[in-house]
Structure formats: structure tokens, C-alpha cells
Amino acid sequence: MSDSWAQAVDQQELAAVTLGNLHLGDEKSKPPGSPTKLVVPPLEPPEEKGEEIPKTDTNGVVNNGDSPEKPEDDDKEDRAAQSLLNKLIRSNLVNNTNQVEVLQRDPNSPLYSVKSFEELRLKAQLLEGVYNMGFNRPSKIQENALPMMLAEPPQNLIAQSQSGTGKTAAFVLAMLSRVDPAHKYPQSLCLSPTYELALQTGKVIEQMGKFYPELKLAYAVRGNKLERGVKIQEQIVIGTPGTVLDWCSKLKFIDPRKIKVFVLDEADVMIATQGHQDQSIRIQRMLPRDCQMLLFSATFEESVWRFAQKVVPDPNIIKLKREEETLDTIKQYYVQCNNRDEKVQALCNIYGAITIAQAMIFCHTRKTAGWLAAELVKEGHQVALLSGEMMVEQRAAVIERFREAKEKVLVTTNVCARGIDVEQVSVVINFDLPVDKDGNPDNETYLHRIGRTGRFGKRGLAINMVDSKHSMNILNRIQEHFSKKIEKLDTDDLDEIEKIAN
């Protein structure tokens, strides 16, 4: 199994070397530390990619600053707009209650299912875990992927399903089903592209496995230090590529030859040359030939899709058509501005709404994120800031506070574009549109970013800030790519804003 993967990777690596953009894995060793349990002290530089890295400040949570100094009339207008939006968005959330059930009966919905969890042949302990999480019926991806993943002999799978449709539960159930609790060594391994996502997925594993206490989980993430010579006894490992690679090779905490299931969440970014390819592949090469490989993502750009099929032997495939990739439950708008300051103003005009529900605001660089957070603070708002250069303990704290809605607004970069699941996020703002390193539209990142709202049948709003002809062009190309109209929104016009929530 590893051979064809290795061959395809060699080809890609060769291509990458030729292009001069090969990223080799971080071989830095980590100092010895305490036993297997999650600790999150401040540590090394970030593992994630996909964020531009200017030299910049490193704030954690940004708290209230001075009050805004604005003419009274403006204030009144803003307040009127804000309270209206608040009302609309609140009622939107209330109206959502039965949405999931309705969608699960609509054959065109990604949440549709004909089967029940019972029919998916899950172990009793896992079924109990599923129901304990409040899941009544499987989603389409769960219904389709689980029988393939649990079949004997094990089969490989490359699966695509829209954001927020329950991919995590699908592969977590497969990981939990395949391990033998009698064996005290890692048997299921999952890689996540970011620290925050690894922690989140770990929590899902813990919740799903709650009634299967013999199964244990280890977090292979930065900050979790083990003593040298330790052999991990936990049967399941969730981690980020750099740390997992260290644990498998240099530190030998994990014997990769005993892994039976290997999951790549956000698989496209894990195998793309611009993503974590080198590390994922070096890990994959250490796994046994008959290790089951499961690749999941909401997006697979064409070349990555071809690569995935080349490196995963005889895979089952679940693929979306382009027009199915976007969710109708997420409404998409753009706001026309002339510069950065106007974008901040437009943001402030809709800010009342996004402080009630929760919002994520995406910037292209850490520098802009830091600047914008500071601007919003100057306007008297309370926001949180999360970007990749922050220390891991800070990052964990920021995302936790945001999850608990202690901050209603999170200003961030692509580090939070994928996978993060915060149900109450009702608005996503692209303060900067997502572009790749060549300045072309990054359609995949666009889809992941807007997918932070509209989770599992919830409705959501995505608002894009356009500030130049160039960014208008990017927006148009994104519209064309998904064949999906992004409506113009005039943030000074109350009637227009009203339409948003209907």
C-alpha cells in the first residue's frame, strides 16, 4: 500500500524541488517532559501553514478599549441598524429549531439519511456515545461512509462532504470501531492540520468513546511532552503532523507499524504541496501496507484529488459535484468599499448583529488581524484575536473562550479557516478575500471559511469585504467557480440589511 503512495509522492517531491518550494519537515527535537497528558505551555513556532507571516504583534484576547468618538447622528443610525440586525439574526436562530429534521428528510440535503445509526452496525458502546451527543439520525456522509469504513476486509476511502455535515463523527466512529482495547498501543491515528482542530477532534473522540472506557486517547500536539523512552499505551492518537512525525520517528513513542487506521482530516491540505504534504507522507510511509487510509475534506482541488487517488490504493470514493459543494443554508453577500478604513466602517455598521450571535472575521495576514482587532477595540468592541504565531496555551484559551461565547467576535487568519466547529457562529466576514500565494482566488479556503457558519443545518451569513477592482475580480472568480451568486449588500441601507436574514 505504501509503495504507490511513496512513488506518487516521489514524483510530487521531485516536482516541488524543481519548483524550489519543497518544505521539509521540522526535525527539531523536543526536550523531555511529563507523562501522557495534555499540557499546553508556551512553545515553539507554529506548525500551520496557509497564513502569511509578517513580523507582527502577538496579542491574545483583546478587551474593551476607549469608546468611539463619533457624531451623534451616525451613532443613532448605527444603533438603529444594529438593533434591527440583532433582532433579525436572533429570530433567525430561533426559527432554526426544526431545520435539521426537515433537512434530514430532504433527499437533496447533505443531512439526508434513510438509515438509522442502529443500521450502521456500530458497537453498543459507540451507539450509546452517539445518542449521548444528541445525534438522532446520521447525515448523508455518515450513512454512506460508515458501511464502507467498517467493511471487512478494511477498505480505503476518499470522502468529500460539505462543511458542517458531520465528517468528524464519521471517521471517529470508524477509528473507535477498529481498535482492540486489549492491546495497549496506538492502533488508530488521525492527523489534523492545526492545533485547535486536533484538540476539537480529540474532544469528539472522548465524547463518542465515553461509554467505552477501555479505549484511551493521546494528543500528539505541541506542548504535550513525554519522557524519553516512553511507549504510548493509548489505542488512539490525534495530533498535528510535526509532533506525530516526531513521536513516530525520532522519539519512538508510537510504533507506526502497529497502526491499523490512518485518518487525514482536511486531507486536501494535508497532501497538497503547499500544505503538510512532506510530513503526512513521511508518517504514511512508516505505516504497514494493510493500514486502512481514510481521507476526508469538504474540498479537493482537482490536482489534489488526482494525487489522492494515486496514492491511496483502491479507494472507495465519495465525491461532490462542484454545484453541490456550497451550502444553500449559508447566504453569501459582498460589501463594496474603497479602502481598508471603509471596510472597518462597514463592519462596524453590522457589528451589532455579530456581537449578539457570534462571528468570525478572517484576515489575510496576522498583521492585518492584529490591526483590525485593535481598530475594533478602539471602536469600543470586545473581540478575540487568534493567529498562528501566538503561544499554544494562549491559542487554546482564546478558542475556548470563544466557544463559551465569552467573546462574541473572533478576528483570525486562515489558521481557523478549517474544521473549527462553533455552533453559534452565525456570521463569517471575509475582511480580506482568500487568495493563494500568487494572488489568485483560493476557492477551497473560501468554502472552508464560510463553512464556519451554517453548521449541521443551521443558517449562516457570509459577508465579503471588497475594497478594490482587484478584489472585486477575485470575488467574481469565486462566484464563477462555484456558480453561485454573491449578492451585493449596502451596509448603509437598512432595507437591504433586512433582506439578509430572510
Ligand X SMILES: Nc1ncnc2c1ncn2[C@@H]1O[C@H](COP(=O)(O)OP(=O)(O)OP(=O)(O)O)[C@@H](O)[C@H]1O
Indicate whether 193 belongs to the interface with Mg ion (CB under 5 A).
Answer: no
CB under 5 to 8 A by kind: which of ligand X, Mg ion, none does 261 bind? none
Which residues contact residue 32 at a Cβ distance below 8 angstroms, ignoring those fewer than 6 apart?
225, 226, 227, 228
The CB-of-473 to ligand X minimum distance in angstroms stands at 27
Nearer to ligand X, 92 or 168 (CB): 168
- Cα separation of 246 and 258, whole Å? 16
The answer to whether 385 and 370 are in contact (CB under 8 A) is yes
Q: What are phi and psi of 285, to 5 degrees?
A: -65, -20
The CB-of-484 to ligand X minimum distance in angstroms stands at 17
CB under 5 to 8 A by kind: which of Mg ion, ligand X, none does 165 bind? ligand X
Q: With contacts defined by CB under 5 A, name the span among 36-44, 274-282, 321-329, 416-424 that binds Mg ion.
A: 416-424
Q: Enter the DSSP assignment of 365.
A: B
CB under 5 to 8 A by kind: which of ligand X, Mg ion, none does 166 bind? ligand X
**Could you say which of 25, 154, 275, 419 contacts Mg ion (CB under 5 A)?**
419
Nearer to Mg ion, 408 or 448 (CB): 448
Where are any strands of DSSP class E within 92-228? 157-160, 188-191, 217-220
- Cα separation of 85 and 81, whole Å? 6
Nearer to ligand X, 389 or 421 (CB): 421
The CB-of-421 to ligand X minimum distance in angstroms stands at 4
The CB-of-174 to ligand X minimum distance in angstroms stands at 13
The CB-of-197 to ligand X minimum distance in angstroms stands at 8
Nearer to Mg ion, 204 or 386 (CB): 204
- Cα separation of 502 and 331, whole Å? 10
Nearer to ligand X, 205 or 465 (CB): 205
CB under 5 to 8 A by kind: which of Mg ion, ligand X, none does 453 bind? none
Give the rounded distance of the alpha carbon of 481 from its chain centre: 21
Q: With contacts defined by CB under 5 A, name the span among 172-180, 417-425, 428-436, 471-479 that binds Mg ion.
A: 417-425
CB under 5 to 8 A by kind: which of Mg ion, ligand X, none does 326 bind? none
Nearest to ligand X by Cβ — which residue? 166
Using the CB atoms, write b or e for 316-349: b if 16+ within 10 Å: bebebeeeebbbebbbbbbbbbeebeebbbbbbb
- Cα separation of 299 and 463, whole Å? 20
The CB-of-289 to ligand X minimum distance in angstroms stands at 28
Indicate whether 110 belongs to the interface with Mg ion (CB under 5 A).
Answer: no
Q: With contacts defined by CB under 5 A, name the span among 138-146, 214-222, 376-384, 412-420 that binds Mg ion.
A: 412-420
Q: With contacts defined by CB under 5 A, name the span among 249-257, 381-389, 411-419, 436-444 that binds Mg ion.
A: 411-419
Residue closest to 163 by CA, chosen among 471, 370, 383, 446: 446
Cell of 451: 463553512
The CB-of-489 to Mg ion minimum distance in angstroms stands at 28
Nearer to ligand X, 51 or 421 (CB): 421
Nearer to ligand X, 144 or 168 (CB): 168
Which residues contact residue 475 at a Cβ distance below 8 angstroms, ignoring those fewer than 6 apart?
334, 433, 464, 466, 486
Residue closest to 248 by CA, chosen among 282, 205, 218: 282
Question: Coil, strand or helix: which one is 479?
Answer: helix
- For residue 371, the one-letter residue type is W
- Cα separation of 421 and 428, whole Å? 13
The CB-of-79 to ligand X minimum distance in angstroms stands at 33
* Positions that interact with ligand X (CB under 6 A): 135, 137-139, 142, 161, 163-169, 298, 419, 421, 423, 451, 455-456
The answer to whether 274 and 437 are in contact (CB under 8 A) is yes
Nearer to Mg ion, 14 or 133 (CB): 133
CB under 5 to 8 A by kind: which of Mg ion, ligand X, none does 139 bind? ligand X
- Cα separation of 297 and 422, whole Å? 18
CB under 5 to 8 A by kind: which of ligand X, Mg ion, none does 215 bind? none
The CB-of-452 to ligand X minimum distance in angstroms stands at 7
What is the DSSP track for 36-104? SS----S-S-----SSB--S-----EE---PPP---HHHHHHHHHHHHHHHHHHHHHHHHGGGHHHHHH
The CB-of-23 to ligand X minimum distance in angstroms stands at 23
Number of residues that bind Mg ion (CB under 5 A): 3
Considering only the C-alpha atoms of the chain, give the largest distance between any 2 of them, rounded to a whole number of Å. 71
What is the rounded (10 degree) CA torsion for 423, 424, 427, 428? -40
Q: With contacts defined by CB under 5 A, name the span among 165-173, 229-237, 409-417, 425-433 that binds Mg ion.
A: 165-173
Q: ω into residue 153 within 30 of 0, thus cis?
A: yes
The CB-of-205 to ligand X minimum distance in angstroms stands at 12
Nearer to Mg ion, 204 or 409 (CB): 204
Indicate whether 50 belongs to the interface with Mg ion (CB under 5 A).
Answer: no
Return residues touching Mg ion (CB under 5 A).
167-168, 419
